[in-house]
A and B are shown apart, each in its own frame.
Chain A
């Protein structure tokens, strides 16, 4: 009378919607936690999930209940020394026997945070929630450039590697059944007749019997001769190509590594680059990184060198911009790649170079870019580069610049740069 059901294969995330609703409801508190977490975190693990807390009183669900006070009688187990009429000192509130009914442990934590783990996805969503990729017009491609193969049912011809065995054999069975059907029907008729004859006393040598047997054999041979599989049965998985908007992006990281950029500033810059990288990751399937560092000359380097090797000397920013342009021209066709660049510098530059930078940006680089972000890490007065870049900004709306003073500025600045533009 009992009925067993194996539910293990049912979907597990039955509560996913409720979880999402919970997170949405406490978004503002969670965002605060997430922003704090980003500032505290070491760079390498920025992509994992995060434990976040919400003050417990913010999420409590109010109910009518008694509070302490008044008279209450409670029964406890485990008496050893008490006698009727004994007086006991009142234990401190909240602990020991105060609450009864398990309330003590629940209410005792009242001020604690309700701490739980956000998945990486949820974490990143919250982190980037209000941000939108600037000029998020993905390159729309027509004609030749980029295609994606998608399934498109089955076809009767194609490459042998695309043969769909199940489909083909199904077709073969159908064909054999269909072609064999008339013969089989005839065999049945003949056999019935034969049986009738034999039952009627006809001998094996009877001419009619022999004729029937021969015809039956002939028909059987005919059925057996139907090919098991025929080229007619073959079905191929069919793919068609759909043009699709590119989802590739390249991010140029340009950093000044001259003597004036110390490790602290490089770390600041690094955070900024990392945020940009994570941000792009949410929007593109594939992201290439190009690291260009420069002092008086520019070099393309790997990530390790980019952030940690020490250089000294003066600063010529235009060298890096030139190199960036070269890299783009050689490797990243702007019709296929979405190009982003982030530049970090302390603002030092040879005076006469700033105007050159401006010209390179305005004429060569900006037309290729989706977005160019410049952060200046300096507590001091702005120098000529800043003013030169301001001119660029006036000409190109997808150029942005901000100033960073310290660690705590990075995230706000990042948000500022990538703020969702009002529609």
Chain B
């Protein structure tokens, strides 16, 4: 049987990579039915990997000092050996681009191909958030457009003006996404065609907005001005792009670019556990299948398992390496657990998961991958057994109390609370402050009022003032930030200027 083994060597070559890709692709498609975009696998050096890191993993991006800062920091820690580079970067695009680092051994390359080009790839293609919120086929083109447009603006308006604008937009990036409404799909041709038209139109509309000045105090009936916008707006960048009175058309376009890139990353931030768990589960499954078919040898598997166990290591909370819950560990464990529940359900599983216990694991997993994000995935599928394995416990930190309180542990009464708490931890909506556009004083000083709706009384961090200055730069008039607590009391947090 040993004749079937693809290679005993640790050194990779392009023919070997192609061979592995062929085999992994065959198993993924024919045996497990993974549906993927076409793959584009690029071999790069570690320096290029650092480059890729610093432009937030995108193959092409506009130029900005913050990417330079990222680059310098990454390079520094890498050189000092404080950090290994990730083995792979994969880009949600069609074709799906994955980077392999030249320094890796053959088993590592095979692992990365399975992980990125089949695991992540199928997740990008299948998960509802990615399907709804990103346009994989257009992102690269859009980035090319964005880069060129911003470079042109730099030529025309000066690097500094563009840089300051980008700084301000970046400060609001997390508040620049539509959470509920599907954004229109990206297309470079479309963008370019519409850009000028939009520029002219927007400018005229904005002028119109401010022309609605009161006809003078002649009548004297002090009807309170209606609040505008009528409903609070969650997407600050969108609101600014459409309504900021003083922005030039090219500035609006840049705001739009930052906003669209933020939107592109939004699903990734919501599906870390699932995405990594899915990809890890599949590289593990695919590698084992290769082994079962006799295509790889024991040495290969040892090498692979060594990396694999490193990736899914979860230190306990009081260990020095502890840095939160490892999304790879949790995700992988949950995916495996779902398979186990399907294949070998216990009494407990039948009680907790009556609809999937004993089902077809491929179908169940596929359904889970397509229709959930981290928060709902955990709320739906975290089993008591896993909570016990991880020895999970929930702690409540209330600043009105002297001490922390352990609210739930991995026991019968605690399972539901624990699961709820963990799911909530992955809810971006509560992880990030909820700040919305509340009011614009159209008749008075044109000031913009933002409201922070507090959740669990958690205050904003120190940098809020700084962010406010950035909002002011974009808006051009006074900006106010108010905070609303759970009882509906409003309190002024900051003002600029």
Contact = CB atoms under 8 A, between A and B. Distances in A.
Contact of B44 (A7, A13, A68, A75): A7
B188 interface: no
Contact of A69 (B316, B452, B457): B457
Contact of B433 (A65, A69, A88, A97): A65
Contact of A97 (B41, B395, B403, B435): B395
A14 B68 CA distance: 10
A18 B63 contact: yes
A78 B413 CA distance: 18
A66 to B, nearest CB: 5
B67 A2 contact: no
Contacts of A8: 43-45, 48, 102
Interface in B27-58: 38-45, 47-48, 50-51, 54-55
A66 B457 CA distance: 10
Interface in B247-303: none
Contacts of A97: 317, 395
A70 B43 contact: no
Interface string A57-77: 001111111111111111111
Interface string A209-226: 000000000000000000
A240 interface: no
B467 A63 contact: yes
B343 interface: no
B51 A12 contact: yes
Decide if the interface of chain B is mainly helix, strand, loop or mixed: mixed
A84 interface: yes
B363 interface: no
Contacts of A18: 54-55, 63-65, 67-68, 71
Contact of A2 (B40, B174, B394, B425): B40
Contacts of B22: 2
A310 to B, nearest CB: 43
Given A2-B25, A2-B117, A4-B17, A64 B424 contact: no
A100 B426 CA distance: 12
Interface stretch (A21-29, A355-363, A380-388): A21-29
Q: Kindly name the residue among A18, A59, A65, A114 whose own CB sees the greatest number of chain B CB atoms within 10 A.
A: A18
B73 A75 contact: no
B71 A75 contact: no
A144 interface: no
B443 interface: no
B163 A62 contact: no
Contacts of B159: 21
Q: Kindly name the residue among A5, A10, A64, A78 whose own CB sees the greatest number of chain B CB atoms within 10 A.
A: A64
A61 B65 CA distance: 11
A117 interface: yes
B385 interface: no
B195 interface: no
B391 interface: yes
A77 B325 contact: yes
Contacts of B392: 75-77, 79
B91 to A, nearest CB: 13
Given A60-B463, A64-B461, A116-B72, A3 B39 contact: yes
A24 B466 CA distance: 21
Given A61-B171, A65-B432, A74-B425, A80 B460 contact: no
B65 A21 contact: yes
A86 interface: yes
Contacts of B73: 114, 116
Contacts of B466: 62
B227 interface: no
A15 interface: yes
A66 B260 CA distance: 24
Given A64-B433, A64-B464, A66-B461, A4 B393 contact: no
Contact of A86 (B38, B39, B406): B406
Given A4-B17, A78-B317, A15 B67 contact: yes
A205 interface: no
Contacts, number: 259
Interface in A1-54: 1-8, 10, 12-15, 17-25
A70 B453 CA distance: 13
A70 B458 contact: yes
B318 interface: yes
Contacts of B350: none
Interface string B380-419: 0000000000111111111100111111111101100010
Contact of A82 (B42, B117, B409): B409
Interface in A85-141: 85-90, 96-97, 100-102, 105, 114-117
Contact of B460 (A1, A4, A64): A64
A63 B463 contact: yes
B39 A77 contact: no
Interface string A230-260: 0000000000000000000000000000000
Given A3-B38, A6-B14, A66-B461, A75 B66 contact: no
B462 interface: yes
B92 interface: no
Contacts of A66: 431-433, 458-461
A83 interface: yes
B323 interface: yes
B433 A74 contact: no
B68 A61 contact: no
B293 to A, nearest CB: 19
B458 to A, nearest CB: 3
A117 B76 contact: yes
B360 interface: no
B463 A102 contact: no
A76 B413 contact: no
B209 to A, nearest CB: 26
B125 interface: no
A20 B163 CA distance: 13
Contacts of B172: 64
Nearest to B457: A70
Contact of B407 (A69, A73, A89): A73
B25 A71 contact: no
Interface string B152-191: 0000000100010001001111110000000000000000
Contacts of B95: 3
B403 A64 contact: no
Contacts of A100: 324
Contacts of A96: 318
A113 B262 CA distance: 29
B193 interface: no
Nearest to B15: A4
Contacts of A14: 48, 51, 55
Given A8-B43, A22-B68, A63-B171, A78 B318 contact: yes
27 contacts: A2-B22, A4-B42, A8-B45, A8-B48, A10-B48, A12-B45, A12-B48, A15-B50, A15-B67, A64-B171, A64-B175, A65-B433, A67-B459, A68-B399, A69-B459, A71-B399, A72-B396, A73-B425, A76-B325, A78-B317, A79-B391, A79-B393, A82-B409, A84-B413, A87-B404, A114-B73, A117-B76
Interface of A: 1-8, 10, 12-15, 17-25, 59-80, 82-90, 96-97, 100-102, 105, 114-117
